[in-house]
A and B are shown apart, each in its own frame.
Chain A
Amino acid sequence: NAGVMQNPRHLVRRRGQEARLRCSPMKGHSHVYWYRQLPEEGLKFMVYLQKENIIDESGMPKERFSAEFPKEGPSILRIQQVVRGDSAAYFCASEQGSGNTEAFFGQGTRLTVV
């Protein structure tokens, strides 16, 4: 059973371009979370999704950021018109369901905006 898979591991984008980060949860997991880690800071919650639904996006910046978790395929975190301040490590975690379960994290995608 493969773990949470994120790709790419490293992504370089020029200012103004779009960044698309992908996360494939563990098999059987229907809950996905995205976290962002800015340099010298802890991980910060961004968004919580279930299949085809955004449950909580209270940690998402209001503009340029969006996330989806379609019925088929990976969850996508999309950042439009990237700026240097978007440079960070983005982690995805998946969980089997609600209640007393463990969240498993991917290796992260390190985004660098130049």
Chain B
Amino acid sequence: GNSVTQMEGPVTLSEEAFLTINCTYTATGYPSLFWYVQYPGEGLQLLLKATKADDKGSNKGFEATYRKETTSFHLEKGSVQVSDSAVYFCALSDRPGSARQLTFGSGTQLTVLP
């Protein structure tokens, strides 16, 4: 079956530091890959996505590249802000172009200190 393995948290960084949150997956075929973010007290929000190999998703300074050869979709940001403090979830869907029936990683708590 499908599975997503995420870097364990919590992760604590200083403002303007470089962020990497690792994500690897196991799936048959060619899944779509997603990063969701959950700010305190809110629901999950789609941060970025990629639907085929070598695609790069980007949003709000965050980036992730779909690497089929390493089955990875690592999240990166060059300079984090305090407002980026949240829980980040990597996810996949094996239905092309769709966000239905997502398989999630366990989430990574990020805290950014001023």
Contacts and interface: CB of A to CB of B under 8 A. Distances in A.
A27 to B, nearest CB: 16
Contacts, number: 61
B100 A33 contact: yes
A43 B99 contact: no
B102 A103 contact: yes
Interface in A74-110: 91, 93, 95, 98-108
B101 A48 contact: yes
Interface residues of B, number: 22
Interface of B: 4, 6, 36, 41-46, 89, 91, 97-107
Interface of A: 3-4, 6, 31, 33, 35, 40-45, 48, 56, 91, 93, 95, 98-108
Given A31-B100, A41-B106, A44-B104, 18 more contacts: A33-B101, A35-B104, A40-B106, A42-B106, A43-B44, A45-B101, A48-B101, A91-B44, A93-B99, A95-B99, A101-B99, A102-B46, A102-B99, A105-B44, A106-B43, A107-B41, A107-B42, A108-B43
